[in-house]
Amino acid sequence: MNKKEQVNKRLDEIYPQLRINCKKVCGAGFNHWGENLLAHSIVSFLNMDLDKQYRIMCEDDAAENYITRGMAISIKSYTSTFFRIYRRDLYNSRELLEINYEKYTTKIDFGEDNEHESRLTCIEKAVNNLPYYEKFLVKKHYYEGVNVAELGRQLNIQPARLTSDIKIALLKMKKQCK
pLDDT at residue 21 tops 90: yes
The mean per-residue pLDDT over the stretch 22-28 comes to 89
**What is the tens place of the pLDDT at every residue in 121-150?**
888 888 888 999 999 988 888 888 888 888
Helix ranges (H only) for the chain are 3-26, 30-46, 50-54, 63-76, 81-82, 88-92, 115-129, 132-138, 148-155, 159-176
Q: In which region does residue 157 sit, left (phi positive, over 0), alpha (psi from -120 to 50) or beta (all else)?
A: beta
Of the listed ranges 38-52, 57-71, 114-128, 162-176, the least confidently predicted one is 114-128
Q: What is the pTM of this model?
A: 0.50
**pLDDT band at residue 55 under the 50/70/90 scheme:** very high
**Rg, the chain, Cα only:** 31
* Average per-residue pLDDT for the chain: 82
- Predicted confidence at residue 105, as pLDDT, reads 52
CA of residue 72 relative to chain centroid, distance: 20
Domains of the chain: 3-94 (no CATH), 115-176 (1.10.10.10)
Of the listed ranges 84-88, 91-95, 129-133, 158-162, the least confidently predicted one is 91-95
